[in-house]
Structure 1
Amino acid sequence: MYKYFLISFLLFNVFTVKAQVMDTTGKKNEVPPVIQARRDSMKANPIPKSKVKVYYPDSNHSPRKAVMHSLMVPGWGQAYNRKWWKVPAIYAGLGLLGWAYVFNVNYFNEATAVSRYRQQGVAPNPGDPYYQTYIDYQPYTTTAINDAIIGARRNRDMSAFGFVGVWAIQMVDAYIDAKYKHSYDMNDKLSIKVKPGLINTPIYAGSFNNSIIPGLKITFTLN
């Protein structure tokens, strides 16, 4: 009898101790309410990602039309491509080259007329078209005047070629922009800048050829 009582007592104590052992597995996986609230807030309001601006092809945009517009009127193709900022640059370049051409044509005609008078050994009469020019050129030698004629002819030709070149460049630029809009994707990593500029020329005849030549600077940027 005592033996059975002792066994029953031991079994009762074992089950009691086992029942009192804490189950920490559930508590270890629990998240504090403050942290859980932050997680829920981040899921509900995620941080927006920056989007790269992409231009998709426009099949209705005609490269041929852009070229024809620029052929007829400078800058019209750029306006057709919605590149409005290029139009003032184009007209600035053409305007400077046109002014340089007219200036050098007049300069060439004046120097040529004075040189012809000196070769003939006569002077123009008062009231003649180049009378005052002949008087103004008297301090200069015939060699200096001939050098001035050569410089004016060179600058005149370069101005004419530059004018035609700018016209052709703006046609090519209009075609490229239209082609990209028509057939390719573009992003903001490619840019082109066109700026007018001035180039100093060497001095060949004193103050006669101390002139400048208009130029055009084109810069492509890849970021």
Structure 2
Amino acid sequence: MPKNLLFFCLVMILGLPMHAQEVQPGETEQDTIVDRSNPEVVVKADRVKKKAINPLAPSKAAFYSAVLPGLGQIYNQRYWKVPIVFGAIGTGVYAYIYNDDLYDRFRDAFKRRRAGFTDDEFYDINNSGVVPGSPDLSDEALQDAQERYQRDRDLALVITIGLYALNIIDANVDAHLKQFNVDEDLSLELKPYLEYHPINSDPNYGLAITIKL
């Protein structure tokens, strides 16, 4: 019938290989790769090169960054990130040391003041002479400064730990992304098919689409 003849013509046309390619003159067998499931399909060898994937690379990058911040970024060859990692974590460490030093100084002065001594560094800041009972910085001011620098020190510690953890996460995720498949070795295959109903033998026409990654 004309309808069936038209369908089978369509089947023959769509059934032809969509990316078939013959070996061009001057090419050797080493330059081409033949699909054994379909010998008509010949693909350039340089278009199917695969990059080896190391499943342990993310773990190694995270471990290196845990041992020494920035080392995982070097392992991932993201050298431009190393100064950022050093600068961020170094700033956090500096802020912690700075506030911890001031906290210790005000705490020691406050403890000596409560013990009855008048020789702490904040008793005579202006070098106008020690006047017992009239310090340049009161006991309340010493206590407030001690608590303020303690809070700042603890906050700097939390931020530094967060930056350290972020450095490890960045190295791990970056190593994962480097192995993400972004090559162009993709193919789309269309396969028309004809099936008959098992009971009434009515023909069923269809088209299958296969995407190969």
- Tell me which residue corresponds to 2:102: 107
Cα distance, 1:117 vs structure 2: 1.8
- Tell me which residue corresponds to 1:178: 175
Would the aligned equivalents of 1:105 and 1:152 in 2 still touch at CA under 8 Å? yes
Q: Does 1:80 align with 2:69?
A: no
Would the aligned equivalents of 1:57 and 1:183 in 2 still touch at CA under 8 Å? no
Q: Does 1:167 align with 2:164?
A: yes
Cα distance, 1:58 vs structure 2: 5.1
Cα distance, 1:157 vs structure 2: 0.7
Q: Does 1:59 align with 2:56?
A: no
In structure 1, what is the Cα distance between the partners aligned to 2:168 and 2:146? 33
Query: 4+ residue runs of structure 1 moved beyond 4 angstroms?
Result: none
Q: Does 1:71 align with 2:85?
A: no
Q: 2:124 aligns with which of 126, 131, 135?
A: 135
* Cα distance change, pair 75–161 in 1 and its aligned pair in 2 (3 A): same
* Number of residue pairs the alignment of both structures matches: 125
The AA in structure 2 aligned to 1:172 is I
Structure 1 vs Structure 2: percent identity of aligned residues? 28
Cα distance, 1:139 vs structure 2: 1.9
Larger gyration radius, structure 1 or structure 2: 1
> Cα deviations across residues 43-99 of structure 1 (Å, max 9, x unaligned)?
xxxxxxxxxxxxx87513711111011011100111111111110011111111111
- Tell me which residue corresponds to 2:206: none
- Tell me which residue corresponds to 2:130: none
Q: Kindly indicate whether structure 1 or structure 2 has the higher relative contact order, using CA contacts under 8 Å at least 6 residues apart.
A: 1
In structure 1, what is the Cα distance between the partners aligned to 2:65 and 2:149? 30
Would the aligned equivalents of 2:109 and 2:121 in 1 still touch at CA under 8 Å? no
Q: Which runs of 5+ in 2 are unaligned?
A: 1-49, 127-134, 184-213
The AA in structure 2 aligned to 1:80 is Y
In structure 2, what is the Cα distance between the partners aligned to 1:163 and 1:92? 11
In structure 2, what is the Cα distance between the partners aligned to 1:70 and 1:76? 5
In structure 1, what is the Cα distance between the partners aligned to 2:163 and 2:181? 26
SS at match of 1:77: helix
Q: Does 1:149 align with 2:180?
A: no
The AA in structure 1 aligned to 2:125 is D
Aligned-pair Cα RMSD in Å: 2.2
* Higher helix fraction (1 or 2): 1
In structure 1, what is the Cα distance between the partners aligned to 2:177 and 2:80? 18
